[in-house]
Amino acid sequence: MLDRIDLLILDVDGVLTDGRIIYDSRGADVKAFNVLDGQGVKYWLRVGHEAAILSGRASRTIRIRAGDIGIEAVYENAKDKLPVLEKILKRFGRAADRACYIGDDLVDLPVMARVGFAVATAGAAPEARRMAHYVTRSGGGAGAVRETIELILRYQGRWGDVLNRYTDQLPDDLPALRRPRKEQP
């Protein structure tokens, strides 16, 4: 199942964030994102996979963050997520079994039932956790996206490609104890 996954679709509130929505005095919303998640998305794209955002709410913050981490396909204001999922699959020419969706609430259930790999965050609604193939140990906005990306790329044998780009620059005389575990490509 995991070996075919090459399209990652992300909910925003409760997945890329911890679910809190902070309003400033003018009513604009403020969201906190996780740097490990963002970097994870960049690794995901770097191996040639695709990513999209599918959010029930609309906010300029989402579009700014998406641009920052290299996601061009941003779908907001999706009150009913299933038809938008179909749009995303069409855009990337993928069957649903090649998509991973990470969600956390009831609105995500129809999408989670349809994709090849459904993931719920640690703090997700119980119904979403029950529907998921995998529940992350990390919470939304606290590494859930990174954890999922690493899980899939490791399974696909691609995490080594990501890691070696950095470990190749380590000094040869670095003690073995301080050396990250070698990944077989």
Q: Among residues 62 and 163, whose Cβ is nearest to Mg ion?
A: 62
Of residues 28-67, those binding Mg ion (CB under 5 A)? none
Asked if 139 is part of the footprint of Mg ion (rule: CB under 5 A), the reply reads no
Q: Among residues 107 and 153, whose Cβ is nearest to Mg ion?
A: 107
Q: Among residues 13 and 153, whose Cβ is nearest to Mg ion?
A: 13
Identify the burial level of 117 via C-beta atoms within 10 angstroms of its C-beta, where 0-12 means exposed, 13-18 middle and 19 or more buried.
buried
Asked if 18 is part of the footprint of Mg ion (rule: CB under 5 A), the reply reads no
From the CB of 27, what's the least distance to Mg ion, in Å? 21
Give me the count of residues in the chain.
185
Asked if 104 is part of the footprint of Mg ion (rule: CB under 5 A), the reply reads yes
State the Cα–Cα distance between residues 3 and 85, nearest whole angstrom: 21
Q: Among residues 37 and 105, whose Cβ is nearest to Mg ion?
A: 105
From the CB of 150, what's the least distance to Mg ion, in Å? 21
Asked if 123 is part of the footprint of Mg ion (rule: CB under 5 A), the reply reads no
Pick the stretch among 4-12, 26-34, 73-81, 114-122 that binds Mg ion (CB under 5 A): 4-12
From the CB of 50, what's the least distance to Mg ion, in Å? 21
Given strand 117-120, what is the order of strands in its sheet?
Answer: 73-75, 50-54, 7-10, 99-103, 117-120, 134-135
Asked if 11 is part of the footprint of Mg ion (rule: CB under 5 A), the reply reads yes
- Residue of minimal CB distance from Mg ion? 14
**Which is it for the CA torsion 84, 87, 89, 95, positive or negative?**
positive
State the Cα–Cα distance between residues 75 and 87, nearest whole angstrom: 9
**N- to C-terminal Cα distance for the chain?**
19
Q: Among residues 56 and 163, whose Cβ is nearest to Mg ion?
A: 56
Q: Which of 36, 25, 14, 20 is nearest to 106 (CA)?
A: 14
List Cβ neighbours of 46 (8 Å cut-off, separation of 6 or more).
162
Q: Could you list the residues that contact Mg ion (CB under 5 A)? A: 11, 13-14, 104-105
